[in-house]
Amino acid sequence: MSLGQLMSGIKTKNVQWLLSVECNRCRLDLMSRLVHWIITQFVFCPAAHALLHH
């Protein structure tokens, strides 16, 4: 699954902490960076760590 697929359908206008960002493109960029960080830090890395150290 790609980051674009994960971001599909996300409405940045409904995200309270993004309301202060005026540019929709900027809101999407910030949200995609957050989603990418969450996936790489909390989903992929622990799974990869478990596979490498099993």
Number of structural domains found in the chain = 1
CB-CB contact of 18 with 27 (8 Å)? yes
44 vs 1: CA distance, rounded Å: 12
| Tens-place pLDDT, residues 11-29 | 888 899 999 999 999 999 9
pLDDT at 53 over 90: no
Containing domain of residue 45, as a range? Answer: 3-52
pLDDT at 54 over 70: no
- pTM of the entire predicted model: 0.70
Predicted local confidence at residue 26, as pLDDT: 95
